[in-house]
Structure 1
């Protein structure tokens, strides 16, 4: 890169950081999670306004490849943080109830997504591609665990019975949905058999070799500043190698990043995990994730959807909301939860947030979906996330009793 390009890149990063902070603060004042404002900022900087002239001026073509690299780093870090935030210990107390709700709010949306894909691809010669059908089903089934956790924390519900069930259900959905997406990526890449077979020794290595080694090594590290820095360095090294491994397998680096975060042991009171979250989390959410939003916003163009496009958005929204809400509500009622609690859980499972954008970005990158459907489903992700707060208030979701030991 030339000196001028470096200067423009640094200035662009400053613009992204400033807009992310402003839009995130505005979203919070409106009762929305900051991620909504940050996503909207990315979309507004894209081709939706002024035909892309604003984004072309602020983010020249010769700088965008560097922004894309930083966006991919941010995406990998985000998925690593998602894996870190899934606490397996909390799943044990509400495992039975959460598993039932997770299955209900995963299977029904997936089925409706498959029907949606068949409808959208009805004009394709020979019918829609199997990879496209499975991808849309998977995208409709996602729940944004990180955004849901922030919403529960902001409302003081993270230590309530309902909050614990919601977090555990979302964690189960996340793990299952990412596994489903890995299979879809393998199908779309044309290497279904060998890629999935390669995942077996990779998973065995991570679970039965890497994790035990970390569990033995962590307790030996002194609790001083230099040693804590060493913990972070080891965590980042494992994150990079795991992400590189799944990318080399042809699946996508996000799966390796997520799996390593998921397998990070919680020994010594969670020192390893807490140190990674404390040191890596702020720069990830403050800089790298907003860069990803802006780059993702370059692919969103609401101005070109037209009447038929907004009709498809309405259909996607209706199926997305109905699938998650009905699946979670019925499952909760079967588990003997009350009507109000079931309504709250149905609302929480509809949160999609950035997780949905990550999935859509993978589909766009692989050519499974086009820019039009990417824009339409991005609108769905924004609406389903934005409606969560008002619906929770309408259903009277308030702080309840603390989590019991067992359910």
Structure 2
């Protein structure tokens, strides 16, 4: 690195930090998740304004790979925390309802997205049409577990029956979505000489959970070790798993996610790791990821034809998610108001959608125009969650914490 690159890199990080925090705080004042403001910060710093003049001046091409490297570390930490936060034990007592709601909220938008892809493929799919259709179906079916958890916590809905069902359903949706994305990556990305390595995923996961988890439990449970030593063990394991996943021709996010799932379910350890890792990730590295993602969002590419396509994308994403979730919830005799609330919650996409879309762009499954429209869809669906919740589920309808969960 030259001295100029170092100077520009540090200044760019400062710009990202200040703008993301400012717009994130503004989003919260507007009763929106902070992630909305941070995503908009990335879009504003991208090529949409002034034909990319700001982007070229503030983020010169020779510095962007350095920013991308740091952003990749940020999204690896994020995926690790997603895996760490997923508590499939929450399925106890409500497994049937959770699985039905999860499958319903995935299958309907996935199927509609797959069908929509057949009409968009000629314009936007440069090569692998099956991979494109599977990817678009997956992107339509995503629910952002971390953003959903934050919305429920902010509105004090975490302990309500509908909040518990939404969290459990979103956890299962996350697992299904990442599994679908892994299939797409295998179909589209595994075409080189090293594509055979993908068959090692199942043995790798088996070793990680069968052998790695007991070893981690022993290493992290030694009474003489400091919190910093334990954190070093966790971060080293995370980075190794991410590297192995990338080596297997899968995206590194899968290794980070699996390591988070494999970490021993110890509340004290989980809280300690989250308290130390999450601030660095959420304050600096994830906003940097939004910046890198925003450099590929160019709203000037959206013309009349693209607006029509955006309308179909929103109709499929929103309609499919709402219809699938509502119908599945009603099958388990969930009240109409609660079923509608659950459908709105499961329609939240946020950062998880952005990660998936960026993977699709990196793979060449999406072109920049469709990527831009899908990012707009992710922002719109997340922004709509708060206002719709206020209408469907005001505080006077909250049920007591001791209420029985839906089964």
Give the TM bin, normalised by the shorter chain.
Answer: over 0.9
Structure 2 CA distance for partners of 1:403 and 1:13, relative to 1, 3 Å: farther
Structure 2 CA distance for partners of 1:127 and 1:35, relative to 1, 3 Å: closer
Structure 2 CA distance for partners of 1:211 and 1:326, relative to 1, 3 Å: same
5 Å-filtered alignment, 1:200-279, equals 200-222=202-224, 227-267=226-266, 270-279=267-276
Name the SS of the counterpart of 1:121 in structure 2: helix
Separation in structure 2 between the aligned mates of residue 335 and residue 172 of structure 1, nearest angstrom = 17
Structure 2 CA distance for partners of 1:124 and 1:390, relative to 1, 3 Å: closer
Contact kept, 8 Å, 1:74 with 1:288, in 2: the verdict is: yes
Contact kept, 8 Å, 1:117 with 1:128, in 2: the verdict is: no
Q: Deviations over 1:22-53 (max 9, x none)?
A: 00011011110000000001001101111010
5 Å-filtered alignment, 1:8-407, equals 8-122=8-122, 129-191=129-191, 194-222=196-224, 227-267=226-266, 270-398=267-395, 399-402=398-401, 407=407
TM-score (norm 1): 0.95
Q: Deviations over 1:337-388 (max 9, x none)?
A: 0000000000001000010010000000011110001000000000000000
Structure 2 CA distance for partners of 1:395 and 1:96, relative to 1, 3 Å: same
Shift of 1:58: 1.1
Shift of 1:124: 8.2
Name the SS of the counterpart of 1:287 in structure 2: helix
Q: Deviations over 1:79-132 (max 9, x none)?
A: 111111112232323222111100000111110110111010146899961111
Separation in structure 2 between the aligned mates of residue 101 and residue 58 of structure 1, nearest angstrom = 45
Separation in structure 2 between the aligned mates of residue 38 and residue 124 of structure 1, nearest angstrom = 27
Structure 2 CA distance for partners of 1:201 and 1:403, relative to 1, 3 Å: farther
Name the SS of the counterpart of 1:60 in structure 2: coil
Q: How many residues align?
A: 402
TM-score (norm 2): 0.95
Structure 2 CA distance for partners of 1:11 and 1:346, relative to 1, 3 Å: same
- Range with bigger deviation, 117-126 or 271-280: 117-126
Separation in structure 2 between the aligned mates of residue 126 and residue 275 of structure 1, nearest angstrom = 45
Structure 1 gaps, min length 5: none
Contact kept, 8 Å, 1:140 with 1:320, in 2: the verdict is: yes
Separation in structure 2 between the aligned mates of residue 101 and residue 248 of structure 1, nearest angstrom = 35
Contact kept, 8 Å, 2:126 with 2:365, in 1: the verdict is: no
Separation in structure 2 between the aligned mates of residue 194 and residue 136 of structure 1, nearest angstrom = 25
Shift of 1:174: 0.2
Separation in structure 1 between the aligned mates of residue 189 and residue 125 of structure 2, nearest angstrom = 20
RMSD: 1.8
Contact kept, 8 Å, 1:328 with 1:345, in 2: the verdict is: yes
Q: Deviations over 1:234-289 (max 9, x none)?
A: 1101100111111000011000001111121123xx12211110000001000000
Structure 2 gaps, min length 5: none
Separation in structure 2 between the aligned mates of residue 126 and residue 217 of structure 1, nearest angstrom = 48
Shift of 1:220: 2.8
Shift of 1:404: 5.7
Separation in structure 2 between the aligned mates of residue 195 and residue 161 of structure 1, nearest angstrom = 43
Shift of 1:216: 3.2
Separation in structure 2 between the aligned mates of residue 55 and residue 220 of structure 1, nearest angstrom = 49
- Range with bigger deviation, 89-98 or 138-147: 89-98
Shift of 1:194: 3.3
